[in-house]
Amino acid sequence: MTQDSPKSTEWTHEAVVRRLAGEMFRGAMWAALGTVAVGAVLWTVLAGVPGLVAALIGGALACLSSVGTLVVMRKTAALPLQVIMVAALAGFMGKLILLIVVMVLLRQFPVLHTNALALTMAATIVVATFMEVRASKRSRSQMVVPTPGNT
């Protein structure tokens, strides 16, 4: 929009981070859901119904953890950049810790195929993270927002 437009948007740090989180969500979710679908089909063929159920559980947990990371990013958007970066790193570490905790807890259920769960979950996390980074690099939100005192 032009500056003389009555609806010109004021770009603040918070608005840029929120827009970036939205672009990352749109970039990651379809690829993550596609990975879950491929994992579910593959593990159904390889391990039957236990493989299907385990792949769907692993994929659902991975998708929820990816959404959780982006929610944290949106919630911390008004905070300083260092806090946002720490929150993003904590979200990624949380995904890895979730994978380990889920595997330890669900090994006690022999009905579930542990390889299907772990590999589908790991693949979904990797694909979602890659797509989030890709969306971030391609984002139009990457701009410097000058503060009034530093112009």
Given a cut of 80, whether residue 63 has pLDDT beyond it is: yes
Select the more confidently predicted residue: 40 or 13: 40
Mean pLDDT on 21-42: 92
Judge contact between 44 and 52, C-beta under 8 A.
yes
Average pLDDT over residues 92-115: 83
Residue 55: band (very low, low, confident or very high) from pLDDT cuts 50, 70, 90? very high
pLDDT tens digits along 104-138: 888 788 888 889 998 999 899 899 989 988 888 87
Please check whether residue 55 is in contact with residue 120, taking contact to mean a CB–CB distance below 8 angstroms.
yes
Q: What letter represents residue 128's amino acid?
A: A
User: Buried b / exposed e across 22-50, counting CB within 10 Å, b at 16+?
Assistant: bbbbebbbebbeebbebbbebbbeebeeb
User: How many whole angstroms separate alpha carbon 104 and alpha carbon 51?
Assistant: 17
In this predicted structure, the answer to whether residue 39 has a pLDDT above a threshold of 90 is yes
Phi, psi of 6 (to 5 degrees): -70, -20
Q: Domains of the chain: which residue ranges?
A: 13-136
Sorting pLDDT into bands at 50, 70 and 90, what band is 12? confident
Determine the pLDDT at residue 51. 94
Q: Which residue has the higher pLDDT, 52 or 142?
A: 52
| pLDDT at residue 23 greater than cutoff 90 | no
